[in-house]
């Protein structure tokens, strides 16, 4: 089978949410090439150091689609939802000098970044939202990456129908970008269980598939090659580009 078609078919199998949103999954090869063009064009526009466009309150999208699972079904996550995330602890470890664990209150205490930005899904929809959270750079300042750390790995609570855990990665330059945040609020309310609560990555300089939802744990690593499919993320393991600049 044509590899891109294979990729499209596995998406359909893995993600009910995708199928709901996408009118024609068979368009995936075209989506892929459009994406490639967009990547080439926009790399120069934003890149790793440029700024994503900011929007006004009046641009905020009323109804947000979800992509992927809705609320993850794992017992662990379900229990956190029942306890309104009081039991949630975000551990940051791996190649850091000072591994740390944060509860929601600790994260809220340092959540000082609020921006209205656009979230672009490769399936052809975009939403504008107001995300508030902790600049990832501040978190890295607390845990202090070791000299050989190159990537920040995000591991999520959701799994696909085959049991594969969702995960993603960005490099330290992207992590230190002033618009990259661990988001806690969407449009003035705690992020709900469908949109990645209680904590999701929000990286407006890249396509939405890089904005890992339902972050369970963060680890710094020197390479992602030995992790799962070796391409640095769930979507990347299915054939998407690791660098998804807009």
Ligand X SMILES: Nc1nc2c(c(=O)[nH]1)N[C@H]1C(S)=C(S)[C@@H](COP(=O)(O)O)O[C@H]1N2
What does each C-alpha distance from 35 to 21, 123, 125, 166, 244 come to in angstroms? 17, 10, 13, 22, 9
String of b and e for 43-65 (b: at least 16 CB within 10 Å)?
eeebeeebebeebeeeebeeebb
> Is residue 22 involved in binding Mo ion (CB under 5 A)?
no
Contacts (CB under 5 A) with Mo ion, residues 142-201: none
C-alpha count within 13 angstroms, C-beta hemisphere, residue 192? 8
Residue 55 binding target from Mo ion, ligand X, none, CB below 5 to 8 Å by type: none
> Is residue 7 involved in binding ligand X (CB under 6 A)?
no
> Which range in 84-92, 99-107, 176-184, 212-220 contacts ligand X by CB under 6 A?
212-220
Separation CA 98–CA 186 (nearest Å): 29
Candidate residues 11, 116, 158, 181; the one interacting with ligand X per rule CB under 6 A: 158
> Is residue 208 involved in binding ligand X (CB under 6 A)?
yes
What does each C-alpha distance from 210 to 137, 148, 153, 188, 240 come to in angstroms? 17, 23, 11, 22, 10
Minimum Å gap between C-beta 60 and Mo ion is 19
Candidate residues 66, 74, 78, 187; the one interacting with ligand X per rule CB under 6 A: 66
Residue 195 binding target from Mo ion, ligand X, none, CB below 5 to 8 Å by type: ligand X
Q: Which of 227/244 has CB closer to Mo ion?
A: 244
Chain residues binding ligand X by CB under 6 A are: 64-68, 121, 156, 158, 166, 195-196, 208-209, 211-214
């Amino acid at each position: 089978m044509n590899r891109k078609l294979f990729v499209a078919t596995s998406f359909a199998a893995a993600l009910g949410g995708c199928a709901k949103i996408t009118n024609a999954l068979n368009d995936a090869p075209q989506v892929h090439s459009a994406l490639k063009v967009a990547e080439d064009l926009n790399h120069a526009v934003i890149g790793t150091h440029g700024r994503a466009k900011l929007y006004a309150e009046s641009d905020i999208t009323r109804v947000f689609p979800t992509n992927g699972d809705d609320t993850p079904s794992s017992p662990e996550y379900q229990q956190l939802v029942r306890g309104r995330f009081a039991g949630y602890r975000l551990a940051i470890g791996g190649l850091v000098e000072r591994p740390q664990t944060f509860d929601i209150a600790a994260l809220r205490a340092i959540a000082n970044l609020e921006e209205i930005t656009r979230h672009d899904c490769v399936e052809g929809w975009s939403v504008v939202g107001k995300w508030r959270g902790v600049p990832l750079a501040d978190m890295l300042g607390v845990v202090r990456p070791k000299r050989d750390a190159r990537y920040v790995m995000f591991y999520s609570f959701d799994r696909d129908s085959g049991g594969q855990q969702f995960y993603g990665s960005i490099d330290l330059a992207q992590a230190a970008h002033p618009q990259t945040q661990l988001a806690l609020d969407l449009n003035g309310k705690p992020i709900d269980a469908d949109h990645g609560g209680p904590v999701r990555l929000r990286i407006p300089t890249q396509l939405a598939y890089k904005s890992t939802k339902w972050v369970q744990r963060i680890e710094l690593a020197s390479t992602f090659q030995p992790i799962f499919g070796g391409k640095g993320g769930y979507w990347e393991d299915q054939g998407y580009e690791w660098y998804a600049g807009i």
